[in-house]
């Protein structure tokens, strides 16, 4: 299982960083290219805040160090969680590795550029989802897999604890 986690983390970080490097090299800031009309653009943006632009305004230099610190603490916690979850199965390992890889990808941006590069722009008519990147996607998918795996495990554990009632009509 450690190999599965390592490969997943490396793939997420490589895909994330390579796509961001391509965007930086081929787009000007705020430049947008329509990919699927009425639904999806590639748009070069940066985010100094957290997910969905939280704390993205001018809040001083403390914000930069705060997000780096939070990312490092979260990554340390995920290492411990990854070790514990190895016995639970590959779904848990992959989910945590996706989250970890996404955190690393965005942390690299913060350390290298002072902001996270976002470029995936999904919209429908007048409604825009906040721009995101491969690292954000990996984190979201990882959280989803983790929650679904926990739900399935919880239902399985509770199903095996409940004995079937076959005593109807028997005395």
Catalytic residue list: 118, 136
Per the structure block, which two tokens stand in for 111? 């350390």
CA distance 20 to 126: 26
Among residues 49, 47, 46, 45, the alpha carbon closest in space to that of 63 is found at: 49
Among residues 49, 46, 8, 1, the alpha carbon closest in space to that of 24 is found at: 46
Asked whether the beta carbons of 104 and 9 are under 8 A apart, the reply is: yes
The position carrying tokens 């848990």 is 92
Asked whether the beta carbons of 100 and 139 are under 8 A apart, the reply is: no
CA 59 from chain centre, in angstroms, equals 24
């Amino acid at each position: 299982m450690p190999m599965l986690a390592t490969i997943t983390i490396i793939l997420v970080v490589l895909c994330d960083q390579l796509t961001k490097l391509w965007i930086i090299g081929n787009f000007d800031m705020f430049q947008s290219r329509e990919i699927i009309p009425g639904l999806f653009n590639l748009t070069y943006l940066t985010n100094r805040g957290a997910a969905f632009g939280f704390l993205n305004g001018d809040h001083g230099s403390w914000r930069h160090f705060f997000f780096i610190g939070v990312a490092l603490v979260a990554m340390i916690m995920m290492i411990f969680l990854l070790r514990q979850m190895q016995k639970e199965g590959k779904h848990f390992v992959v989910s945590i590795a996706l989250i970890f890889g996404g955190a690393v990808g965005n942390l690299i941006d913060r350390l290298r550029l002072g902001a996270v590069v976002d470029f995936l722009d999904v919209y429908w008519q007048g409604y825009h989802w906040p721009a995101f990147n491969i690292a954000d996607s990996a984190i979201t998918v990882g959280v989803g897999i983790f929650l679904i795996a926990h739900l399935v495990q919880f239902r399985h554990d509770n199903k095996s604890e409940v004995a079937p009632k076959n005593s109807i009509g028997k005395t």
